[in-house]
Amino acid sequence: MGPADDKPHEECGVFGAYDPAGNDVAPAIYYGLFALQHRGQESCGIAVGDTLGPRRILLHKDMGLVSEVFNEERLQKLGGNIGVGHVRYSTAGDSSPQNAQPLVLNYIKGTLCIAHNGNLVNAVELRRELELSGSIFQTSADTEVIAYHIARERLNAKSAEEAVASAMQKISGAYSLIVMSPRKLIGVRDPMGFRPLCIGKRDSTYFLASESCALDAVGAEFVRDVAPGEIVTITETGIFSEFPREKATTAHCIFEYIYFARPDSIIDGIGVYESRVRAGRELARQHPVEADLVVGVPESGNDAALGFSLESGIPYGKAFVKNNYVGRTFIKPTQLERESSVRIKLNALKKVVCGKRIVMIDDSIVRGTTCAQIVSLLREAGATEVHVRISSPPFKHPCYFGTDIPTGGQLIANRHNEQEICTLIGADSLGYLSVKSLSEIIQGRLSCCDACFSGKYPVARPKH
- Residues designated as active site: 12
- Written as one letter, the residue type at 266 is I
State CA 224 to chain mean position distance. Answer: 19
- Provide the 10 A C-beta neighbour count for residue 196: 27
**Distance between CA atoms of 181 and 197, rounded to whole angstroms?**
19
Give the residue ranges of DSSP H helices in 170-232: 212-217
Closer residue to a second copy (CB): 78 or 449:
78
> Residue 305, interface with a second copy (CB under 8 A)?
no
- Provide the 10 A C-beta neighbour count for residue 436: 10
When binding is defined by CB under 8 A, the residue of 4, 21, 91, 138 that contacts a second copy is 138
When binding is defined by CB under 8 A, the residue of 57, 78, 82, 103 that contacts a second copy is 103
Q: Is 300 annotated as a binding residue?
A: yes
CA-based Rg of the chain, rounded to a whole angstrom? 23
Q: Is 399 annotated as a binding residue?
A: yes
Report strand pairing: 103-107 vs 110-120.
Answer: antiparallel
> Residue 115, interface with a second copy (CB under 8 A)?
no
List the interface residues with a second copy, window 69-98 (CB under 8 A).
Answer: 70-72, 75, 96-98
- Provide the 10 A C-beta neighbour count for residue 133: 8
Q: Is 113 annotated as a binding residue?
A: no
Q: Is 448 annotated as a binding residue?
A: no
When binding is defined by CB under 8 A, the residue of 21, 52, 321, 460 that contacts a second copy is 321
Phi, psi of 150 (to 5 degrees): -65, -45
> Residue 389, interface with a second copy (CB under 8 A)?
no
Provide the residue count of the chain.
464
Cβ atoms of 251 and 238 closer than 8 Å: no
Q: How far is the CB of 271 from a second copy (least distance, A)?
A: 4
List the interface residues with a second copy, window 36-65 (CB under 8 A).
Answer: 37-38, 59, 62, 65
> Residue 355, interface with a second copy (CB under 8 A)?
no
When binding is defined by CB under 8 A, the residue of 124, 157, 223, 310 that contacts a second copy is 310
Q: How far is the CB of 183 from a second copy (least distance, A)?
A: 18
Q: How far is the CB of 268 from a second copy (least distance, A)?
A: 14
Torsion of CA 68, 72, 76, 82, to 10 degrees: 50
List the interface residues with a second copy, window 212-271 (CB under 8 A).
Answer: 213, 216-219, 262-264, 266, 271
> Residue 343, interface with a second copy (CB under 8 A)?
yes
List the interface residues with a second copy, window 174-213 (CB under 8 A).
Answer: 213
**Distance between CA atoms of 154 and 171, rounded to whole angstroms?**
15
Helix axes 142-154, 160-168, angle to 10 degrees: 120
Closer residue to a second copy (CB): 166 or 369:
166
Q: Is 62 annotated as a binding residue?
A: no
What residue numbers does the annotated binding site cover? 253, 300, 362-363, 399, 449, 452
What residue numbers does the annotated binding site for Mg(2+) cover? 300, 362-363
